[in-house]
């Protein structure tokens, strides 16, 4: 009868480390936008807005070399949304704008 060779004590399997990226430690609040690191090394920020005319959700994207740059651009978009939301998604022609202006 053949016996198995004793290989010694069993080694524990290594636990894989979770992948983490800079800035991924907290969840953003609703309306704050999303900031992610792209595969090409650039940072991307996205902000979802509802078009007042059609009611559809639209997504605006900004890009930058650093996370801080993208966060500041998103803050500018949020500020523009607070002051005049129509300017962000407006696709009116000059004639349509002037017609609205004359009516109001």
pLDDT tens sequence across 54-101? 778 888 899 999 999 999 999 988 888 777 766 666 666 788 778 888
Q: Which residue has the higher pLDDT, 79 or 17?
A: 79
* 56, 50 Cβ separation under 8 angstroms: yes
In the prediction, which pLDDT does 70 show? 92
Integer angstrom CA distances of residue 7 from 4, 12, 15, 16, 78: 9, 14, 22, 24, 63
* 71, 45 Cβ separation under 8 angstroms: yes
* 74, 45 Cβ separation under 8 angstroms: yes
Average pLDDT, the chain: 77
């Amino acid at each position: 009868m053949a016996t198995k060779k004793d290989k010694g004590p069993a080694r524990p399997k290594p636990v894989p480390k979770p992948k983490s990226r800079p800035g991924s430690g907290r969840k953003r609040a609703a309306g704050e936008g999303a900031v992610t690191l792209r595969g090409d090394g650039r940072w991307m920020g996205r902000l979802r807005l509802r078009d007042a005319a059609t009611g559809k959700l639209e997504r605006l994207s900004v890009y930058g070399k650093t996370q801080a740059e993208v966060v500041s651009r998103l803050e500018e978009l949020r500020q523009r949304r607070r002051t005049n939301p129509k300017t962000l998604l407006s696709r009116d022609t000059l004639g349509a704008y002037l017609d609205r202006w004359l009516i109001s």
